[in-house]
Amino acid sequence: MRKKWMSSTLALVLAGTTVASMMPAVPVSAKGAEAASGTTYYVDSKKGKDSNAGTSESEAFQTLDKVNELDLNPGDTILLKKGSVFEDQALKFTKEDSGTAEAPVKVSTYGEGDRPQINTNGHGLWELNYGTPLDNQNHKWKGTVSSSILIEDAEYLEIEGLELTNDRNSATDTEKDKAYNDAYAMDRTGVAGVAKDNGTVDHIVLNDLYIHNVTGNVYNKHMTNGGIYFIVAKPTNEGETGIARYNDIQIRNCSLDTVNRWGIAVGYTYAHDKFQGAILDEVAFLKYGHEHVVIRNNYVKEAGGDGITAMYALRPLVEHNMTDCVAQEINDRIYCCPKNRAGKVAAAIWPWKCKDALFRYNEAADTRLNQDGMAYDADSGDGTTYEYNYSRQNEGGCVMFCLDEAIHNTFSHNVSYDDLGGTISPSLNPDALLSHNIFYVREGVPFVRNQMGGGNYTEEENQIIVLK
């Protein structure tokens, strides 16, 4: 399923711009240099049998359970037949299923027809435990999660072409009778990634996935809860396996629709205490944070909470994405039974505790109002740059520079069209720069959002055009 999501307005704005280099080659640490041709396994839900060898189309497996039993080796490929539907099933990859830099493990499709569907329906259960409370004591940090695909310490893994759901409405779902906004509804994910006992986890690629109808828990921000969510948990023995972190996460060309709570997030970490204060040292990221995070050309529609977020990453690149009507459930009608949890805020496309994050050529439209509700949010990071982005009719405004731990932020050459509530939210930020932007502001809408002012920011050669 491919969608054309760049608006005509954005296309006109960006016409004539040139990107000299989309992204340099990504260096990865080769933990195994051996090349391997690998084995190709076939899975056909309609005509396959788990008693088959699985190594040809005529001898295909039938279920994903059989795939999970395999001991995958570098260069192995899993092919799901188009038109297959896998009900109440999930895929799980562990450290032992890793490929190498020269021979990654791949998951793709074969045949003709619709994408292979994995309809997990609350199955695929596993236990998430960060190993330490999160930076906000009211955020849940351990519990049971259901995921259509779980990537647990596996690396050099590439997955493409699948359709994933994890919907509570199935007749086989154990939670089918729970209220949608039940405080203790199970956390769910389309794809969940966990780094824990494999040191730096290298090279995970998610490409051209269609993920929809994931009915997770709207209250739990940092459980693997939503469309795609990567986290880092405390190692069992850090001295033996090394500090857990990610290097080279690529999420590209994916379409997500009706997922809860998050759209795409990479990657909250147990080591959050290493990133305190406003000035973030690159050394901390090289030791505890993530490198070479690329989130490109994805479409997120009607996420319950936030759209796309990079976290604890050094120089993440977030480009050519679109969010459409996110933060759908951060309101008093849905978000009304949080119990002892906090986090009734959401924005569209933003970083958390990143250094030198680059957000460019993105589009955010119709983000719903909440305590935030804006298109873009430079939040608690050092050196965030937003350039050549477009925003339209976001109910919380265009951009926020969030409090005193968000420093060295630049917002330049962007276009805001009819963003509501107040175009910018300085929010006590010390040093934001707004330059060469075009703001189309509806008559009567304040440029600075009410109760979101203060701080210091600099304006250079911006245009403000009043819409009447």
Distance, in Å, from the CA atom of 351 to the CA atom of 264, rounded to the nearest integer, reads 12
- Determine whether 96 is exposed, middle or buried from the number of CB atoms within 10 Å of its CB (0-12, 13-18, 19+): exposed
Let me know: does 350 contact 374? Beta carbons within 8 Å: no
Residue 276, SS3?
A: coil
Distances in Å between the alpha carbon of 445 and those of 40, 428, 450? 59, 20, 10
Catalytic site residue from 97, 153, 173, 379: 379
What is residue 407's DSSP assignment? B
Token pair listed for 269: 């970490």
User: Could you tell me where the beta strands, DSSP code E, fall in 335-462?
Assistant: 349-352, 358-360, 363-365, 376-379, 385-387, 390-392, 399-402, 410-412, 415-417, 424-425, 432-435, 438-442, 457-460
The verdict on whether 372 is a catalytic residue reads yes
Residue 209, SS3?
A: coil
The b/e string for 406-425 (b: 16+ C-beta within 10 A; e otherwise) is bbbbbbbbbbbbbbbbbbbb
Return the amino acid letter for 331. Answer: N
- Determine whether 25 is exposed, middle or buried from the number of CB atoms within 10 Å of its CB (0-12, 13-18, 19+): exposed
CA torsion, points 350, 354, 360, 365, in degrees to nearest 10? 0
Catalytic site residue from 202, 366, 372, 382: 372
Let me know: does 307 contact 264? Beta carbons within 8 Å: yes
Let me know: does 315 contact 280? Beta carbons within 8 Å: no
The neighbour count for residue 240, using CB atoms within 10 Å, is: 9
Residue 34, SS3?
A: coil
Let me know: does 391 contact 364? Beta carbons within 8 Å: yes
What is residue 422's DSSP assignment? -
Distance, in Å, from the CA atom of 116 to the CA atom of 335, rounded to the nearest integer, reads 33
Token pair listed for 283: 């050394």
Active site residues: 372, 379
